[in-house]
Structures are given as structure tokens and as C-alpha cells.
Chain A
Amino acid sequence: MMGKRTLWHKIQILVTMGAVAVFLIPVFLFGSPWPMAARDYLEAEGVQDSGAVNLVSAIYLGYRSFDTLLETIVLLVAILGTLGLMTQIETILGKEQKTTSKTITFSLSDDKRSSHVLRTHLLEVVTGKLSPIVLLFGFYVMLYGHLSPGGGFQGGVIVASGIIFLSLGSGLDASAKFSGYKALGRIEAAAFLLLIVVSMSGIFLGKGFFGNPLESVTVLPAGFIILLNAIIGLKVGTSIGLMCIAMMGRKA
């Protein structure tokens, strides 16, 4: 009975997949030329319009900046949901057995150093020393997004890995505070608020929703894009860092 059923399911799914593939042929295999309007417009006017040499950031922080705001929100909601689910799972597990959540780090606590003399401190040292460099590179990618490949999202992810390095390398010393759960949560919330305020500030200056509020303030043509890149980078970096640190069991 069961075997028959799985066979029937397999046939069903195979037939459907085949049908969908046939169905999609007219969408992909047809001879009409690629549309040129948007490309030509970008080539002619893109740099002038937005001030960004990197046209990708001109698109996602200029022409389509509202889409980008929503994509940032997707990440925010996904992380809020993940953290919520993790809390739920913890309470369910906590009911069954008292699990002492062990914090994960490469470094040893002071009382264990004497008993674990043979353990190398290589990872701890390397991640600790590397993290400022990674953070710096992240900020570079974030702030130069209008000139070279990169931008807020990419730079933010690099910043997040810097934060994780910081957290893994440092045990419980002063630098751990910076990668603490609370601090990251604060930066994330503040960056989100700032992002919304910046995006609506154009309305009060008569430039419209997502209009450039800096137009009359700065001579730098890509000023608004740099500002948005920086805020989005902070937001993305802290969000992802926050989630990873929560997964490492360092919620307290």
C-alpha cells in the first residue's frame, strides 16, 4: 500500500515537473530582442542622475530605493522571527531538561588555563587580531559602494563576520562588550529608525518620499547614496551578527 502510494507520488511529481518545464519553454526560448530602453537610459543619464559611478548602487539606492527599504525589512523580520523561534524552542527544551547553555568561544576561561596548558591559543589570537581588520574592510566596502562593487548589504555582511570574529576570539574581556547582544540590538534598532527617518525626510523638505534631503546641503553628488549605504550596512551587519551570536548561545 505504502509502496504503491510513493510510486504514485513520484509519477505525479515527475509528470508535473515535466509539464512545468514544457510550459516554461515559450518564456525562455523566443527570438525577440532584449529590451534596451532602461539600459540606454542608465548609460546616458545614470551617473548624472545619481552621482554614483557604480550604477548598481545608483539603481538600488536611487531609482529603486523603496524596494531596497522593503528588502532590508525582509531581513529584519526574518531575524526577529528566527530569534522568536529560538526563544520558543529554548522554553520548550527548558521544560524537559535543564540545559545549561554553554557559550561558544575559542578562548578559555581563566580558571581552566592551568588545566588545559597544552591547548593552543592560535584560533583565539588570530580571530581576535583579525576582527578589527575585517571590520575596517567591511566599513570600506560599505562606504565606497557608490564607486566600486559593494555597498550596504555586502559591507554589512563583512561587518557581521568581523563581529563574530570579535565574539569568538574574546572570552569575557572588554572587547566582548562591543559584540554583546544588547549593544548590537541597540545599534540595529537605531539604524532601522534612522533609515525610516532618512527615507521620509525628503517629504518635509519638499523633495517627496525618498527624495534626496541632502541636495541643498552637500556638494557631493552621491551623498544620499553614501548615507543610505552606511545606515543599511550598520543595520545588516548588526542584524546578522546578532543572529549568529544568539545561535552561539550568548543571549545573556
Chain B
Amino acid sequence: MNPDDIVFAPVILPLFGAALALFSKAFLKGRPAVFLEYAGVLLGLGLPWLAFLQTAPMAFAGNTFQGIIGGWHPAIGISYSYDGLTWLVNILIFSIGIAAWLYSVGAGPKGPVFSTVFLIQIATLAMTITTTDLFNLFVCLEVMGITSYVLIAFSGKPGASLASFSYLMVSATAMVFFLLGFYGLYRLTGAISYLGIVQGLQGLADFGGITANISLVMIVAAILVRVAIMPLHNWLPDAHALAPHAVSAMLSGVLIKVPLFALLRILITIPQGMRIGEVLGYTGALTALFGVVLALSQRDAKRLLAYSSISQIGYVVSAWGMALQVGMETNLGIILMASAFLHAFYHALFKALLFLSIGTTIDRTGVRDVLVRRGSIAILRLQGERIPVTFLCFLCGALAIAAIPPFNGFASKTLLAHALKGNLHYLLLGVASAGTVASYIKLSRIYWPRAKDAEAIDAMVASEPFHRIHWTIHASQSFLAIVCLIGGMAITTIFPLVVRAVGAPGEGLEPSVSLYSVDNLIQTLVITLGGGLLYLLASSKPGCRILYLLRRQRHTFQGLFVSFAVVCAVLSVLI
């Protein structure tokens, strides 16, 4: 066995687990079938952690495993590269994956077919971040897409199939443009690996000129559809809101981030990457701002969370783009990218936590509207939850996303703010943070003590038969909540590690940031108070009216296609 082969553990083990789960469905019945399915999941989601342990020293030392799958000639084989960034993103994928699968055991959709598709999705995500071959990236994005369509449709809720179908149409259209861009780059350079393309472009006059630019822009825009950056976000709210809760956690936590970091691998070396990064940095900051306004306007709890994901991915993209702009060789670039990854990771944790705890609550209370439902804690207690675990988990998640110390959101947002200080992004993100606070105050209404006339509802809920909340639901939620808390407390250890994994730090790099300085705490206080004020404004009469108009906006496929064209045009003009 070759020591380098360990890098395929996160890809091949989940695939093997998926095959076992499918096998159990076809050949076995009853207990043995469940046993084999769970064994497959354990193999697929658990065993890769050993590989991560094994490769951790190499990831933090800045080493890279590179090669060609099957050992073929580089001009034609599939090249891969497993470095610190791959390691970090793999940790993100597998930690959310475990929590989401555990939750699905208790709350559904469960069963061998779900496990199979879920594990295939995990494997593809791991491969997406490992590959350095443009065509392989295309295939990975395709599999990632098709598994999400199937997983979304699993929920069986009215509208879920339609949401899944419109997601399918949108990403299939975007992938056509990806292929066109791939064709353009291949025509120019004759290479399909990232390295070959970069070398080919450097040999051309003006780095390939307008053909290269347009091809690249189409690839970038197609990937940005998956990331759901602002004009390309329309497919996301329906898909994320109507999916089963475990799948929502996976979609919002992982699926919108992995393509972004896979895109980084292309842009990091390509000559045009710097300008694209700059443009995307500003787009990200604007996305954070507008996304949160839309989130604040929602009444459906899960749609609010979905729009909030768009806003939070905006935070990540703004630091990510800025890092590309200043260059990943510089200390500032490394710090920015490390903060971007850290926020992506922490967002995955607390957004998954929020989706799961809100999911449990709306399943149990039967109402998704945050303005209608009150007193969810009492209802959950009537259904056998003696300690309000779900509410406490929600509280952890909400405090984290609102950047209240000592939760992890405070750490990552402060680091982002610190790295972006002195730019326009900083101001935009600050306002967006206040909006986040306001929208989560709105969401927390479903837990507020009930209004006087709500006792009738409670009597109705209590009279209906119910199942006890499965222990895996609580286990999964508590796991995420604890990780959120630890991630915030141990930031002084975690951040330097992330910095070392993202890039080899140069001289004079000081990754340690004093988080709990007076400045930062005052800033948090101002943002929180601003958020409270914003919530009051939003619940006033004119505020409600504006939000109603925003909420009424309809999303069409055509609108998304037009914005896709606009994004392509704007990007190609600006680079």
C-alpha cells in the first residue's frame, strides 16, 4: 500500500459505505439489513477521521500530496492535490455530515436509499476539493447536484419536488456554460489540469486575451450559482427551505461552501484570478447586506434561515475575494483566507445547528410561520422534552450567528472584521451584522412565551398523539452546540492552526488576535443594540409594509437566467 493513497480515504470510504448500504437493501431484511447499512455509514463517515489524523501533521506543515489517479501521463490523466486547505474543508464536510446523518436517523428521511445517496454526496464533496482537473471538477459538481436534487425531493413536502426540479434546471443550465468555458480553455491551452491551463495561458500573448477571460468567467459564474452569490441566489431559498431538515443543514452548511474553495484552487494561480477576486469581494459584501434584509423580511422560519445563509456566504466571499486580490503569498492574504475559511466552517456548524433545532421545533409544533407560532418551549415540553434541549441548542446557534461572545460566531466575525478593517467591506459587513441580530430576534419569536389566546392551540397539540423525540435528534443538536461553544473558546489555538494549514506564513505573521479587547466588545455591543433597534423598526407599520413588498418578490427561472447573463457580462468587462 502506497502512503499517498491515504488521501483517497475521504472519497473511497463513503463510496464503499454507500455500496454496502445499497447492498443491504437489495439482499438483506430486518435487523441484518439495518446493521449492514449502519456499518456502511460508520465506515463512510467515521473511518476517514483516522486518515485526517494521519494527514494532520502534513497539512499543518504545508506539505502537499500530488499526483495523477492511476499514475497516468499528466497531459491526459486526472490530477489531484491534497494540501492543508483540502484537509480543512474535509473536516468541515465530515463534521456536518455526521451530525446531519445522525439527525436523519431520528427525524427522517432514513433508510438505505437515503444513506446511499447521502454517502455518495459526501464522497463527491471530498473529491471536489481534492481534484485539480477541470473536467473532473465538472463531473464532481454534476454528482453533487444530482444527489442534492434527490435528497431535497426526499422530504415529500408539497413543493419539495418542484424546488428540487427548479434547482436541477438552474444548475444544469449553469453547467452548460461551465462546459463551454471548459471548451474555450481547452482550445487555448490544450490542457485540462489547473496547472496545465495556467502554464498554457502564461505562454500566450495577453494571457489568452478575451477568449480566455470569457471562458474563465463562464466557469466562475457557473460555480457561483452553486455558491448562491447575490444575483444568482434565487434557487436557494426554496430548495433549502423545503428539503428535509438534515439535508437543509447539509446544503446550507457544506454544499454552498465547497465549490467556493474548489474555485479558489483555479483562481489562485491563474493570472486573471486577482481581478476576479476583487470584484467578487465587493459582490460578497453586498450579498451579505441584501441577503440579511431579505432574511429579515421572511415569515417562514426555514426560509429565513435560508436567506441568512446567503447573507453569511457573502461574509465568506468578501474575505475570500479580498484574499485573492491581495495575493495568497502575502501575510494579509493568508490571514484573510484563514478568516474566510474559519467563518465558513463556523457558519456550517451554527447554521446546521439552527436548521436542526428549528426543524425539530416546527415539526413538533406544526407551524412554520414565525409571526404565528409562540410558546414552542411549552409545546415541546408537552411532547416529552423535560429539559428544553432544542431551545437551548437554538439559543447557542442564534447567539453564535449574532456574534455574541463566547460563541464561535463572535470569534470568526471578529477575525473577519479585523482582517477587513479600513475597507468598504468592513462597513457593509458591520451593517449586515446588525441585520443578522434583528432577523434572529424575529426568528426567536417562536420560542417566546405564548400569547393569552394561544392556550386552545396547546390543548389541541396536547390531545394529538405524538412520538417521543428520538435521542439521536438531541445528540446531534447537542454535539453541534458543544462544538460551537468550543470553537469560540479555543479560538486562540484553532486560528493559528488554520493559518498554518491555509498557507506557509511568512516572517512577522502574527495570527493571534486579542478577541476580548475593549474595542471588540464595544463594537459587538453597538451592533447588537443596532440589531435590536432594527428589529423594532422592522416590526413597525412602515417597516412591515416594506418587508411585505420584499417578501412578495417572485423568483423565476428566467430571472435567474437573465442575472446569470448579467453576471457574466459584468465580470468579463471588469477583468
Contact = CB atoms under 8 A, between A and B. Distances in A.
Q: Do A and B bind each other?
A: yes
Given A27-B184, A67-B135, A211 B70 contact: yes
Contacts of A16: 561-562, 565
Most chain-B CB neighbours within 10 Å: which of A13, A70, A76, A188?
Answer: A70
A38 B190 contact: yes
Contacts of B569: 19, 23
Contact of B75 (A13, A32, A41, A195): A41
Contacts of B113: 80, 84
B391 interface: no
B16 A200 contact: yes
B568 A23 contact: yes
A190 B562 contact: no
A32 B572 contact: no
Contacts of A41: 73, 75-76
Contact of A27 (B5, B8, B183, B189): B183
A202 to B, nearest CB: 8
A189 B27 contact: yes
Contact of B143 (A27, A70, A209): A70
Interface string B177-202: 00011011011111100000000000
B69 A66 contact: yes
Contacts of B46: none
Interface string A7-40: 0010011001001100110110010101111100
Contacts of B376: none
Interface stretch (A56-64, A126-134, A164-172): A56-64
Given A16-B562, A27-B183, A73-B143, A203 B135 contact: no
A189 B189 CA distance: 41
Place the interface of chain A in its size category: 35 or more
B390 interface: no
B47 to A, nearest CB: 13
Nearest to A207: B71
Interface in A165-220: 182, 185-186, 188-190, 192-193, 195-197, 199-200, 202-204, 206-212
Contacts of A70: 124, 127, 136, 139-140, 142-143
A210 B1 contact: no
Interface string B23-60: 10111000000000000000000000000000000000
A78 interface: yes
A27 to B, nearest CB: 4
Interface string B71-90: 11101111000000000000
Interface stretch (B207-215, B279-287, B365-373, B399-407): B207-215
Contacts of A206: 1-2
A104 interface: no
Contact of A42 (B15, B76, B191): B76
Contact of B22 (A26, A67, A71, A189): A189
B371 to A, nearest CB: 30
A192 B127 CA distance: 19
A209 B190 contact: no
Contacts of B211: 26-27, 30, 32
Most chain-B CB neighbours within 10 Å: which of A9, A32, A49, A206?
Answer: A32
Contacts of B210: 26
A81 interface: yes
B436 interface: no
A195 to B, nearest CB: 8
Contact of A37 (B19, B20, B71, B75): B75
Nearest to B160: A88
Given A32-B188, A74-B143, A80-B117, A200 B23 contact: no
B558 A13 contact: yes
B153 A84 contact: yes
A17 B23 CA distance: 46
Contact of A81 (B1, B72, B149): B149
A65 interface: yes
B326 interface: no
Contact of B72 (A13, A63, A190): A63
A209 B5 contact: yes
A251 B215 CA distance: 46
Contacts of A125: none
Contacts of A64: 76-78, 135-136
A80 B150 contact: yes
B2 A23 contact: no
B558 A210 contact: no
B217 to A, nearest CB: 9
A209 B203 CA distance: 33
Contact of B147 (A62, A77, A189, A197): A77
B136 to A, nearest CB: 6
Given A74-B146, A210-B70, A20 B154 contact: no
A11 to B, nearest CB: 11
Contacts of B15: 73, 196
B19 A192 contact: yes
B156 interface: yes
Nearest to A13: B558
B23 A85 contact: no
Contacts of A63: 70, 72-73, 76-78
Contacts of B188: 32, 35
A193 B565 contact: no
Contact of B150 (A81, A189, A204): A81
Contact of B120 (A13, A27, A73, A88): A73
Contacts of A212: 70
A208 B5 contact: yes
A102 B72 CA distance: 52
A19 B19 contact: no
A201 B23 CA distance: 18
Nearest to B24: A189
Contacts of A84: 113, 150, 153-154
Contacts of B565: 16, 19-20, 23
A16 B564 CA distance: 10
B71 A27 contact: no
A74 B453 CA distance: 52
A63 B558 CA distance: 39
B187 A35 contact: yes
A55 B2 CA distance: 29
A45 B565 CA distance: 42
Interface of B: 1-2, 4-5, 8, 12, 15-16, 18-20, 22-23, 25-27, 67, 69-73, 75-78, 113, 116-117, 120, 124, 127, 135-136, 139-140, 142-143, 146-147, 149-150, 153-154, 156, 161, 180-181, 183-184, 186-191, 210-211, 214-215, 218, 558, 561-562, 565, 568-569, 572
**Among all A-B residue pairs, the 3 with the closest Cβ atoms:** A35-B190, A81-B150, A189-B26
18 contacts: A20-B565, A20-B568, A27-B211, A27-B215, A35-B191, A41-B73, A41-B75, A49-B73, A65-B69, A70-B142, A73-B120, A77-B146, A80-B150, A81-B149, A84-B153, A189-B22, A196-B12, A197-B16
Given A26-B211, A208-B69, 18 more contacts: A27-B181, A30-B187, A38-B75, A66-B69, A73-B124, A77-B150, A78-B150, A80-B116, A84-B154, A85-B153, A189-B25, A190-B27, A200-B16, A203-B5, A206-B2, A208-B71, A209-B12, A211-B71
